[in-house]
Structure 1
Amino acid sequence: MKPYVYTFLILIIFTLYQCQTYKPLSKSAEFKPAPVSLDSSPVIAASESISKMKVEEGFEVQLIASEPLVSTPVAMSFDQKGRMWVVEMSGYMPDSLGTGEDLPSGKIVILADKNKDGVFDERTVFLDQLVLPRAICLIDSGILVAEPPRLWYYDIKDGKPVNKVLVDAKYAVDGNVEHQPNGLLRAMDNWIYNAKSSKRYRKINREWIIQDTHFRGQWGITQDDHGRLYYNGNSTNLVGDYFSPGFGSSNKNQHDVNGYTERTVADNRVYPIRPTPGVNRGYSKGTLDDSLRLTNFTAACGPVIYRGDLFGDAYQFNAFVAEPSANLIKRNVLTQSGFVVKGTQAYKGKEFLASLDERFRPVNLYNGPDGALYVLDMYRGIIQHKTYVTPYLSEQFKRRDLSAPLNCGRIYKIVPKNKKATPVVLPDDSRQLVSLLGHASGYVRDMAQQLLIDKKDKTVIPYLEQALKNSANPMQVIHSMWVLEGLNGLQTNEVLALLKSTQWPVRMQALTVLPSVINSSSYGYYATALQELLRQNDELSAPYLGYLAYYLKPFDEVAANDILISLTKKYPDNKFVADAVISNQAYREQAFENTIAKLVPDSNLAIRKQLSNVISRFKSAQKNRDPQLLAKQYPKGAMLFKSSCQTCHAVDGNGIQSLAPPLNKSAWVTGNKNKLISIVLYGLTGPINVNGHVYQAPEISGDMPGIGHSEEITDEDIAEVLSFIRSSWQNDAAKIAVKDIANIREKYKGRKSAFTQEELTTVQ
């Protein structure tokens, strides 16, 4: 035997010893609650793991892959053959200090079910020696791979990666592992979107295009049947967009745009079935209840809109959200009124799935080719990045031996009992794929659309054109339209016909596709169609008309301005229309306010109030200090701000909706330095009043983690980042010295808990 064969066998034996024996288990055993020890957190064999889970009545959990076949899965994608391409982030938190995190231990592996029994049994390493890989996307006979800070594209030839191309050198340059872009969702509009990012990507004529859109989420991103995006932050259940993803980001002076980053489900309560002391703020009042169980989301991630055809009608337009800190998966029921989407938790006092196993760490959820719900379980003791680990959590790691092992991982699927989950076989034949564009499963429709575009087979266009007329199946109409758009085969007369559809979802998609088809020869027809929708008082279309004026303006400025003025007069108190109109006014907001002052004299109406806020924000930003000069003055501070602060407080210091309040012009920043140092060292929990406005969950995250316990961040670093923040934007406060940090450390020596606003009032 060759040496590397011996090495491989030793690794297999070690894995089996650490994670216990892998035995495929296809059916959920009866759930029998048992006492949970708080003194240890044993590794439970994959063959026994399902017995520790309680799933909704009528469903069962099936184990389809586990160690040594897969390790630390964090993202995946199915291919046409039904194989799973899995991202293994093996380097995540090797111990409580993150030692060795930067070693190239990550992999992209392909899992196959060779004997077709529903359990995956073959592993092929596609790429290895990656540093913390976090996302993939199969597209155009190749694959996108996110390996911070870069995004790469590989062609796939004979199952091997070839022709490595750099798509984005700055895909994930800011933030730490928990706060970097991820997702790479191939959405209905043929663009690829990300969480924790404002970028989208698309390959056009062999060139990768990068565009800026709205900033979205933290970990995980999904879409509904109409291509609207959903995501969340670690303490928020579900957030989403009411409108199509490509609109509304053209005016950088708009801090927030109504209809984007909306709290879809505001209720953040969770219901674990075991004590969960191993959460970062388990010591804080209210984090755990009297039975030591987490009360609210603290690691929400991996959301998915269920779009399969297996669960039944009650599960259509449901959103599932993973909470690895509480070892559970939540179900939310969504409803739509007009273009507004809201939701409620499916149950009170229980979850769709919860486990007694503390190491059950669901981090991403997916629809599958058989209609099942797929669950990636990282199966780790530690699920908190080193940047934010508190002494309390570090003690939990050590006392209950949560650091090891590191090479476990499981993938499950959830199916209804007594129903056979049969994967849909995706054919090579283009005409058959067109028929699948109308399939009951959203997963199948998406895959058929993507395969047709990747095949670049334009002989299929006549069949797609015929499908556009199938009003009995609006989903086939919508997907056919987007395939034609992807093949550059969508005609003006076809879009105009869809704009006249009596079905709102079809009209919505026709409005959404317009930016990619409008040109110098077609703009006149589209201008007429948009004006007709305006005359018909189609209020559902109104925000879209506002956004589309931006794309009409280069061809016909007069027509575009007429649409904006008409919208202003017709819907002056509609906040969604107002923001759509304002999105067209970048750097001419004041002139537009002068124009509409007589048309809308009431300054309390939405268009006037929202426009006034944007103008005030722009004028305020003009007074900001030069960030490049400050970065030269405080190089370490600027770097630390980008990696640990900017991801929640925004590059302009004005905060990010659903994450954090502003730092710019905040009295907490420019005032008493000891209060600021206390917050940064030990964290902040609960509501906080910033310049007269009380910020609290769900408007922002309920907690800000401290960084004073990090062994990588020195007092010199903290002093410099705080000096940087106190001098940035319009802040003008004195520098903070290293001795100031040391003094606060000494004063609160031994403190573990985060500060509340009330406590901070006593800090001198």
Structure 2
Amino acid sequence: MKVYIYIFLALIVFSLYQCQSYKKATTNTSVQNKPIDFNLASVVPADEAISKMVVEDGFEVKLIAAEPMVTTPVAMSFDNKGRMWVVEMNGYMPDTLGTGEDKPTGKIIILEDKNKDGVADERKLVIDSLVLPRAICLIEDGILVAEPPNLWYYELKNDKPVKRTLVDDKYAGEGNVEHQPNGLLRALDNWIYNAKSSKRYRKQGDKWLIENTHFRGQWGVSQDNYGRLYYNDNSSNVISDYFTPGFGSANKNQRGVDGFSERTVPNNRVYPIRPTPGVNRGYSAGILDDSLRLVNFTAACSPLIYRGDLFGSAFDFNAFVAEPSANLIKRDVLTENGYVVKGEQAYKGKEFLASVDERFRPVSLYNGPDGALYVIDMYRGIIQHKTYVTPYLSGQIKARSLTQPLNCGRIYKVVPKGKKTVFTNIPNDPNKLVELLGSSNGFIRDMAQQTLIDGKYKQAIPLLKSIIKQTSNPLLVIHALWTLEGLNALETNEVLALLKNTDWPIRMQTLAVLPSVINQSSYRYYIKALNEIVANNDELAAPYVAFLARYIKPFNETSADELLVNLVKKYPNSNFVSDAVISNLAYREESFKETIAKFEPDTNLRINKQLQSVITAFNNAQKNRDPKVLAKQYPKGSALFLSTCQTCHSADGNGIASLAPPLNKSQWVNGDKNTLLSIVLFGLTGPVNVNGHVYKAPEIAGDMPGIGHSEEISDEDIAQLLSFIRSSWQNNAGKVDVKDVVGVRQKFKSRQKAFTVEELESKK
């Protein structure tokens, strides 16, 4: 034992020495009122780092853990004991070339506060030798671990893995480190959701269910009190779904469904308190202001809906968003009107939390068992992945020695000043767990629900059934409902009664639970109930009824279609109802259009316009070339498209909202190959006109990064990539040779900046 103690103490001394050896002179105390040190890029010891932060009046930041207790943290989860399970992505970007990134240096650890002083004092290694792990989820007696390309489930005993099961070997099979699935959010509906993904997962006995939903987000995913999901991309503040996440994704011909991937907070302005030249496009006009501070989000991530009970009522239904490139955390205030959730920034000209420390990299935000806001600080100089690092950013990194050290990391929590925080213990007593389902802290409600389900506490069922008959605490009823769903204990008569509840959130959750309870013996009762909802003009419920027709169809297709027809008759101009109806009609759009034309012939109605749009898109897609044939012809190009381009431009080449415009039939792809090469090698700063439509932020990201500076991507790779793209879908352009790539690279060999459309057009 003494040997281990000596080793641990040695590690502490070494780590502190390594971090402090990079320390230079820094500004101190009142960072708001004193001049900002432009060169404040060296490591600030953890015990001083908080003094470099400015936080909202009335709040304070507390350090929970720092190196060597934790290094390069990127995600975490609390367990029932209040311990933090932390993902350490130690292999991320050791230098600007990503040297050694594929080494198995990642870890899952447990941090515990043994003496209850608010600071972690014990570190326990659970799993090591992982390659770039990125997300975890505790469930039953084990833990899900995302280690690209795989999703693993580790069964645990005494916090040690005893068995490993492969859940999904294609969890993160495409994209680079910045563009791979993550999150593993265990949501209200008992499914596990991800960002940068369309998959959801659920453990059912010894089996894992995998289903497709809507594609969403980039890094981080959160939920509100009603299980609706919130996410974003690196240029966007907050994006969200207005409806239950499992609905509306069944029609592959339908590119978008109203109420999903909605821009909840469109204002992307940020207010750093220090110059931030170290962003990838810092040289481009409009990226930095006159004081060299970032203007708009460029690395937005981990949007979190605050659901605690510690901050006060003004923070109910607030969102927090991390921006590691600008060393800050933003606060947004959300409001709800019917289905629509919208929001605005809480402040103008300042942020909830910001630091003058360039290495302060908040990458993940969490609600905690004490109601506090928890912040994962990766504490790295480099956060941009190698695929997109520009020479400009490489120069910034070199100028301020941002590469080293690699073994730092911090976890903070934000709390109101002078307010004592109390951890609520999650007991194993089923009656006490049921009581906690009504907690004012959403984190505690979630944990109580999950513990009841994981523990298979059947003895709690009678109490849960009694709760759903009362409505004095709607959130208690909602969690009891979903707990019963998770225990497979919901009965038809209970669901039918809740469908008549006057409280909309309870009705909404009951509609959302129907896919779990509809079966051969009960579907007739639900058909009747759904028809009554339509007849009673329940407009709030109408889109849900449309989504649910999909689950009626296996038992009675005629009744399912009658529901859809009745909804069209009542709401022909509703965006939400129309898209929900069409989500049921994969490969039946034309026949359904003919059916409703008998009573709704007006082509200007929303239902008819959207149906025609889907029909047209489907007909166009039939003309696409076979991607498997092209992949054989251009194997390197196909692989590079999957890892680098598809994540923004979509597998079908038609672009992804908020990320990138279409490649399919684009004049930029089918036109002059040297112009396209210029874009791919050096990047393009928007806005950009593609076939008559001008794409600009926030419809797409403001910039497309070039890949010409990546040492891992050869000229042959790029030639194959462009040959693949110029032959894919309905593109019909010529092949690109290696000599073409070499020629453009040589012509612009001294160029660092991305091109603008005006520059490219002037060169024609």
What does the per-residue CA deviation read over 1:176-231, in whole Å, with 9 as the maximum and x for residues that have no partner? Answer: 10000000000000000000000000011220010000001000000000000000
What does the per-residue CA deviation read over 1:271-297, in whole Å, with 9 as the maximum and x for residues that have no partner? Answer: 000000000000000000000000000
Match for residue 24 of structure 1? none
Verify: 1:194 aligned to 2:194, yes or no: yes
Match for residue 686 of structure 1? 686
Q: Aligned letter for 2:416?
A: P
1:14 to partner: Cα distance: 2.3
Instruction: For 1:569-608, list aligned pairs within 5 A.
Output: 569-608=569-608
When residues 369 and 5 of structure 1 are mapped into structure 2, their CA distance, relative to the original with a 3 A threshold, is closer
In structure 2, the residue corresponding to 1:138 is in which secondary structure? strand
Q: Aligned letter for 1:306?
A: Y
In structure 2, the residue corresponding to 1:166 is in which secondary structure? strand
Cα distance in 1, alignment partners of residues 44 and 35 from structure 2: 15
Comparing 3-12 with 545-554, greater Cα deviation is found at 3-12
Q: Which runs of 5+ in 2 are unaligned?
A: 22-27
Q: Aligned letter for 1:730?
A: Q
Match for residue 715 of structure 2? 715
Match for residue 113 of structure 1? 113
In structure 1, the residue corresponding to 2:755 is in which secondary structure? coil
1:756 to partner: Cα distance: 1.5
Instruction: For 1:437-586, list aligned pairs within 5 A.
Output: 437-586=437-586
In structure 2, the residue corresponding to 1:718 is in which secondary structure? helix
Cα distance in 2, alignment partners of residues 375 and 204 from structure 1: 32
Q: Is the 8 A contact 2:684 2:704 kept in 1?
A: yes
What does the per-residue CA deviation read over 1:730-749, in whole Å, with 9 as the maximum and x for residues that have no partner? Answer: 11110011111112112222
Match for residue 282 of structure 2? 282
1:762 to partner: Cα distance: 1.7
1:137 to partner: Cα distance: 0.1
Instruction: For 1:241-390, list aligned pairs within 5 A.
Output: 241-390=241-390
Match for residue 395 of structure 2? 395
Q: Is the 8 A contact 1:41 1:400 kept in 2?
A: yes
Q: Aligned letter for 1:264?
A: T
Q: Is the 8 A contact 2:31 2:356 kept in 1?
A: no
Instruction: For 1:612-623, list aligned pairs within 5 A.
Output: 612-623=612-623
1:695 to partner: Cα distance: 1.0
Q: Is the 8 A contact 2:40 2:356 kept in 1?
A: no
Q: Aligned letter for 2:737?
A: A
What does the per-residue CA deviation read over 1:126-170, in whole Å, with 9 as the maximum and x for residues that have no partner? Answer: 011100000000001110000011000011111111110000011
Q: Aligned letter for 2:37?
A: S
Q: Is the 8 A contact 1:256 1:657 kept in 2?
A: no
Cα distance in 2, alignment partners of residues 17 and 692 from structure 1: 59
Q: Is the 8 A contact 1:39 1:399 kept in 2?
A: no
Q: Which runs of 4+ in 1 moved over 2 A?
A: 1-14, 28-40
Match for residue 746 of structure 1? 746
1:51 to partner: Cα distance: 0.5
1:655 to partner: Cα distance: 0.8
In structure 2, the residue corresponding to 1:194 is in which secondary structure? strand
In structure 1, the residue corresponding to 2:143 is in which secondary structure? strand
When residues 284 and 326 of structure 1 are mapped into structure 2, their CA distance, relative to the original with a 3 A threshold, is same
1:9 to partner: Cα distance: 5.3
In structure 2, the residue corresponding to 1:110 is in which secondary structure? strand
Comparing 639-648 with 30-39, greater Cα deviation is found at 30-39
Cα distance in 2, alignment partners of residues 753 and 597 from structure 1: 53
What does the per-residue CA deviation read over 1:489-510, in whole Å, with 9 as the maximum and x for residues that have no partner? Answer: 0111111111101010000000
In structure 2, the residue corresponding to 1:761 is in which secondary structure? helix
Q: Is the 8 A contact 2:38 2:274 kept in 1?
A: no
Match for residue 628 of structure 1? 628
When residues 566 and 726 of structure 1 are mapped into structure 2, their CA distance, relative to the original with a 3 A threshold, is same
Q: Is the 8 A contact 2:309 2:371 kept in 1?
A: yes
Q: Is the 8 A contact 2:228 2:241 kept in 1?
A: yes
Q: Which runs of 5+ in 1 are unaligned?
A: 22-27
Match for residue 128 of structure 2? 128
1:727 to partner: Cα distance: 0.4
What does the per-residue CA deviation read over 1:662-684, in whole Å, with 9 as the maximum and x for residues that have no partner? Answer: 11111111111111111111111
Match for residue 698 of structure 2? 698
1:11 to partner: Cα distance: 3.7
Q: Aligned letter for 1:437?
A: L
Q: Is the 8 A contact 2:241 2:262 kept in 1?
A: yes
Match for residue 25 of structure 1? none
Cα distance in 1, alignment partners of residues 418 and 469 from structure 2: 37
Q: Is the 8 A contact 1:20 1:46 kept in 2?
A: no
When residues 670 and 547 of structure 1 are mapped into structure 2, their CA distance, relative to the original with a 3 A threshold, is same
Match for residue 24 of structure 2? none
Cα distance in 2, alignment partners of residues 331 and 353 from structure 1: 9
Q: Is the 8 A contact 1:304 1:320 kept in 2?
A: yes
In structure 2, the residue corresponding to 1:529 is in which secondary structure? helix
Q: Is the 8 A contact 1:553 1:560 kept in 2?
A: yes
The alignment covers a number of residue pairs equal to 759
1:598 to partner: Cα distance: 2.3
Q: Is the 8 A contact 1:149 1:169 kept in 2?
A: yes
Match for residue 13 of structure 1? 13
Verify: 1:99 aligned to 2:99, yes or no: yes
Cα distance in 2, alignment partners of residues 555 and 239 from structure 1: 35
RMSD: 1.5
Q: Aligned letter for 2:42?
A: P
1:763 to partner: Cα distance: 2.8
Q: Is the 8 A contact 1:32 1:51 kept in 2?
A: no
Cα distance in 1, alignment partners of residues 199 and 637 from structure 2: 25
What does the per-residue CA deviation read over 1:246-294, in whole Å, with 9 as the maximum and x for residues that have no partner? Answer: 0000000001111100001000000000000000000000000000000
Match for residue 221 of structure 2? 221
Cα distance in 2, alignment partners of residues 60 and 756 from structure 1: 44
In structure 1, the residue corresponding to 2:549 is in which secondary structure? helix
Q: Is the 8 A contact 1:470 1:476 kept in 2?
A: no
Q: How does the TM-score come out when normalised to structure 2?
A: 0.98
Cα distance in 2, alignment partners of residues 110 and 325 from structure 1: 28
Q: Is the 8 A contact 1:636 1:717 kept in 2?
A: yes
In structure 1, the residue corresponding to 2:202 is in which secondary structure? strand
Match for residue 760 of structure 1? 760
Match for residue 667 of structure 1? 667
In structure 1, the residue corresponding to 2:194 is in which secondary structure? strand
Q: Aligned letter for 2:502?
A: T
1:536 to partner: Cα distance: 0.9
Q: Is the 8 A contact 1:362 1:377 kept in 2?
A: yes
1:559 to partner: Cα distance: 1.3
Cα distance in 2, alignment partners of residues 584 and 668 from structure 1: 35
Match for residue 25 of structure 2? none
In structure 2, the residue corresponding to 1:354 is in which secondary structure? strand
Q: Aligned letter for 1:184?
A: L
Q: Aligned letter for 1:160?
A: K
Match for residue 84 of structure 2? 84
Cα distance in 2, alignment partners of residues 438 and 523 from structure 1: 31
When residues 172 and 618 of structure 1 are mapped into structure 2, their CA distance, relative to the original with a 3 A threshold, is same
In structure 1, the residue corresponding to 2:576 is in which secondary structure? helix
Q: Aligned letter for 1:55?
A: V
In structure 1, the residue corresponding to 2:762 is in which secondary structure? coil
Q: Aligned letter for 2:481?
A: M
In structure 1, the residue corresponding to 2:211 is in which secondary structure? strand
